[in-house]
Amino acid sequence: MRIIARPKLIAFSKRFPDAKAQLDVWWSEAHRAEWKTPADVKAQYRNASILKGGRVVFNVCGNKYRLIMKFDYAKGIGFVRFLGTHKEYDQINAEEV
């Protein structure tokens, strides 16, 4: 998958250094992945939450942080839509960001 907005992941890692290793691993795995459907994502990340509109919520650092991606499976592209603390996540609508 081509992951759009990696700089957001890097900036977040600077803000929350405890998330850096896990985000780096996630990016590496997602970048190499060839997900064609939400089921493909779920097969690799059992704790991921599949939402409407191609969105997937990933738990980072044991659910301390949340990453919302919007995937265009046909084009093989994933867009970072949100990355924040669990508290910040609770203040947004994950299906609209």
Average pLDDT over residues 16-41: 96
Model confidence band, residue 36 (pLDDT cutoffs 50, 70, 90): very high
Whole-prediction pTM? 0.94
Q: Taking a C-beta distance cutoff of 8 angstroms, is the pair 82, 68 a contact?
A: yes
Mean pLDDT for the chain overall? 96
Residue ranges of domains in the chain: 2-89
